[in-house]
Chains A and B, each alone.
Chain A
Amino acid sequence: MKLFGSRCDCVLAIVRKDFLLNLRRRATFAAMMMFALTATASLSLSTGGALLDEKFLAAILWVVIFFAAGAGLAGTFDDEAQAGTLPTLKLYGDAQAILFGKMSVAFLSLVALSTFILPIFLILFDVGVEKIFLLLATVLLGLIGLAAAGTLTAALTTSAAVKGGLFPILLFPVTLPIFLPAIRLTEISFTPAQVDSSLLVVILAFDAILILASSILYDYL
Chain B
Amino acid sequence: MNKIIFLLTAVIVAAIIFFVPPIKGLGELAKIIFFHVPTAWVAVVAFFSSAFFAAKFLRTKNFSFDELSARAAKLGFVFVLLSTVSGAIFSKLTWGAYWNWDPRQTTIFVLILIYGAYLTLRAAVTDEKVRAKVSAVYSLLSVLTVPFLVFVLPRMYFSLHPSPINSSGVEMDSEVVIVLIAAVIDATLIFVRLMRR
Contacts and interface: CB of A to CB of B under 8 A. Distances in A.
Interface in A182-211: 184, 199, 202, 206, 209-210
A173 B156 contact: no
A189 B178 CA distance: 49
A160 B121 contact: yes
A177 B145 contact: yes
Given A159-B125, A159-B127, A160-B121, A173 B142 contact: yes
Given A177-B145, A217-B141, A166 B120 contact: yes
B152 interface: yes
Interface range on chain A: under 10, 10 to 19, 20 to 34, or 35 or more? 20 to 34
Interface residues of B, number: 28
Nearest to A198: B155
Contacts of A172: 113, 117
Interface in B111-148: 113-114, 116-117, 120-121, 124-127, 130, 133-134, 136-138, 140-142, 144-145, 148
Nearest to B114: A173
Interface string A138-171: 0000000000010010001101111000100110
Given A180-B156, A213-B141, A166 B110 contact: no
A199 B156 CA distance: 9
A103 B28 CA distance: 55
Contacts of A161: 124-126
Contacts, number: 79
A169 B156 contact: no
A220 interface: yes
A210 B144 contact: yes
B124 A160 contact: yes
Contact of A152 (B124, B136, B137, B149): B137
Contacts of A156: 121, 134, 137-138
A177 B140 CA distance: 16
A166 B121 contact: yes
Given A160-B125, A170-B121, A220 B136 contact: yes
B153 A180 contact: yes
B124 A202 contact: no
Given A156-B121, A174-B144, 5 more contacts: A157-B121, A166-B124, A170-B117, A217-B140, A220-B58
Instruction: Report the 7 A-B pairs with minimum CB-CB distance, sorted nearest first.
Output: A177-B148, A160-B124, A173-B113, A156-B134, A173-B114, A217-B137, A159-B130
16 contacts: A160-B124, A160-B134, A166-B124, A170-B117, A172-B117, A173-B114, A173-B145, A176-B110, A202-B152, A206-B148, A213-B140, A213-B141, A217-B140, A217-B141, A220-B137, A221-B133
